[in-house]
Structure 1
């Protein structure tokens, strides 16, 4: 088969494209980025809703600061704890599945080879070729082959719950700082408009970032994100204003 005209001399056209990321750990890094964008988005929306709601009831800077800081700390710690528990559970399940697979490879290697052959056939490979591929994969790294093909797990890239917890904590805190600073730093008459505009701009950025990471159209993600944040701020402000007018 002739090589592609754009292939450099000595370069294997069947190899990975240099413009595409194929390095190990890409999946984990993308998951961290997505978690970071979503964590920052949650920090922006939840803290903005909180401080805007309080602003509807009072214009006291100390009350706004207290509410904002409380929301920031509660939200960031909750996100971190939730991510730690979630990822720990996922990691435990993955490790249990790998342990079972390791035991099966040790006790019934022939049955595992047949199973791997069948799984490769299910992907459209002929039986003879699937058998040869299964033998070569087993000889090289039996557990890794079964983990990837059978379980969809990369044993070298198990999620770290501490990394997930810290990433969520930092992302939420970074997102929450924007509405908190926007509501307490400007003069009284400018607090609300500056907060609303800053939050909407941040949500547009988060929507665009999440769409880019997921290779999805940006406009629907941006509209959903900005609309959700705007509705949250409008509702909490209305509730705060009603409670403030009632003297609660």
Structure 2
């Protein structure tokens, strides 16, 4: 359940990044030009650059984490093979630190070791589930998809309306989407929703205001 919540939270945050970064880009370009082609080109380029960057970063990050976890499991496997008694004592001590009495901790350590010593040490000592190591490809694809879904909203909102309506429609759509993302992230993280929504909306509004001002200035020049 916790793993699923982590994935959902990461998806919401990825979509949120896609919304804000793409909205800032296309609103800035719309401030400089009324050409639909130029706005669309910039938006698609930003979508692809952002989603691929997110995917690559997530792949590298999760790969590093997975490599570290596999190395820790391999070291634990060697220690169990070389000195199982010392490892049993270590597991007993770890269980006792969690509040079990010495006798109960010893009995639990023995039973856990008889079933699967490596799994017992991975869970108790390392905090790792050996069968649930993160897949870097899954993480990369999830980040790519989340960012893309978020980026599509401001991209469509900026290119579909008439030039005079592009910025107001995009700002309204983006702020509404950021409210939803803020509520979802707060709910998943069990945090106060008002603060999360306010932070999200203010950040997105500031990003669009700054890029639109810069685009308008450069476009008028």
TM-score by length of 2: 0.98
Name the residue aligned to 1:40: 15
Please say if residues 28 and 159 of structure 1, whose CA atoms lie closer than 8 Å, have aligned partners that are also in contact.
Answer: no
Does structure 1 residue 121 correspond to structure 2 residue 85? no
Does structure 1 residue 153 correspond to structure 2 residue 128? yes
Structure 1 segments (4+ residues) deviating >4 Å: none
Hey, which of these two has a bigger chunk of helix by percent? Answer: 2
* Other structure's SS at 1:153 match: coil
Does structure 1 residue 65 correspond to structure 2 residue 40? yes
Name the residue aligned to 1:228: 203
> Equivalent of 1:143, from 105, 118, 139?
118
Name the residue aligned to 2:194: 219
Deviation (angstroms), 1:83 = 0.6
Aligned positions of 1:175-214 closer than 5 A: 175-214=150-189
Paired positions, count = 221
* Other structure's SS at 2:131 match: coil
Distance (whole Å) between structure 2 residues aligned to residue 29 and residue 185 of structure 1:
35
Return the structure number with greater relative CO, CA threshold 8 A, min gap 6.
Answer: 2
Deviation (angstroms), 1:35 = 1.4
* Other structure's SS at 1:159 match: coil
Unaligned runs of 5+ in 2: none
Deviation (angstroms), 1:30 = 1.9
Deviation (angstroms), 1:87 = 0.5
Distance (whole Å) between structure 2 residues aligned to residue 145 and residue 231 of structure 1:
50
Deviation (angstroms), 1:28 = 2.7
Unaligned runs of 5+ in 1: 1-25
Distance (whole Å) between structure 2 residues aligned to residue 51 and residue 227 of structure 1:
18
* Other structure's SS at 2:34 match: coil
Distance (whole Å) between structure 2 residues aligned to residue 147 and residue 104 of structure 1:
12
Name the residue aligned to 2:24: 49
Does structure 1 residue 103 correspond to structure 2 residue 78? yes
